[in-house]
Amino acid sequence: MSVSSNASSRNGSVDDSTTTNTTNTTDSSELTHILNRRQEIMDSQEAGIELPKTFRVVNVYTEFHEFSRKQIKDYQKTFNTYDTARDGFLDLNELKFMMEKLGAPQTHLGLKKMIAEVDEDNDGKISFREFLLIFRKAQAGELDNDSGLNQLARLTEIDVEQVGVSGAKNFFEAKIEQQMRTNKFHDEIRQEQEDRRREEEERAQRRQQFQQRAAIFQ
């Protein structure tokens, strides 16, 4: 995570002024990272070791273009709430605390699986960028319905601190009911289309049979 992102984490939100004031520091950090990375690659090549790929993004607003700036700032606020160490990452214990507060506690193995699913740099923690990947995957339908990450994505749509776990439960029950009504509506439309298609086929078949019978008397 860049210096500007770490600064945002400490302040509790993504702040444009903070990002602007730390531009020089961020540029210096990025350059240092690039030089260090090149040195690591050279050292590993000399030693015959395959260096794992790393992922580094400076501007989450550019990469996650499917989200508005407000959405990203809201995600940052949620991330900061559970980043109790204020180091710009969610470790296993912080993720454990988060899922408990959201009313969806996970086993130790479940938490490790959650982290592994978005941990692109294999550091055993979730950076803010990797945190955003959860919501990207959820939006794209790439998460299993019962997975911990899908629960996290759904539960952070509302303020569980305010409405409580029961309120969150009611919220998602209402969403499920709405989805069921929508699906029923679509099913009814498909059924009507199927009935019309079947009627047209039957009419065409009757016309063909009539023409065949009429041809006998010609």
3-state secondary structure the chain: CCHHHHHHHHHCCCCHHHHHHCHHHHHHHHHHHHHHHHHHHHHHHHHCCCCCCCCCCCCHHHHCCCCCHHHHHHHHHHHHHHCCCCCCEECHHHHHHHHHHCCCCCCHHHHHHHHHHHCCCCCCCEEHHHHHHHHHHHHCCCCCCCCHHHHHHHHCCCCHHHHHHHHHHHHHHHHHHHHHHHHHHHHHHHHHHHHHHHHHHHHHHHHHHHHHHHHHCC
Same structural domain, 85 and 141: yes
Mean per-residue pLDDT, 122-148: 93
Burial 109-127 (b: 16+ CB within 10 A, else e): ebbbebbebbbeeeeebbb
The structure tokens 């015959």 sit at 48
Mean per-residue pLDDT, 19-35: 52
Among 124, 140, 157, residue at a domain's last position: 157
Same structural domain, 106 and 60: yes
Same structural domain, 152 and 177: no
pTM: 0.51
Mean per-residue pLDDT, 206-212: 83
How high is the pLDDT of residue 29?
55
**What's the number of CA atoms in the CB half-sphere (13 Å) around residue 38?**
5
CA distance to 5, 60, 142, 151, 168, per residue, from 114 (Å): 22, 21, 13, 11, 21
State how many domains the chain has.
Answer: 2
Same structural domain, 179 and 131: no
Q: Is residue 162's pLDDT more than 90?
A: no
Mean per-residue pLDDT, 139-154: 91
Same structural domain, 206 and 147: no
Mean per-residue pLDDT, 100-118: 94
How high is the pLDDT of residue 210?
81
Same structural domain, 175 and 111: no
- pLDDT tens per residue, range 32-88: 656 676 677 777 777 777 655 555 545 899 999 999 999 999 999 999 999 999 999
The residue segments making up the domain with residue 152 are 3-157
CB-CB contact of 19 with 81 (8 Å): no
Q: Is residue 207's pLDDT more than 70?
A: yes
More reliable by pLDDT, 3 or 27: 27
CA 85 to chain centre: 23
CATH of the domain at 117: 1.10.238.10
Same structural domain, 136 and 65: yes
Same structural domain, 133 and 211: no
**126 has which bridge partners?**
90
Residue 34 CA to residue 132 CA, distance in Å, equals: 23
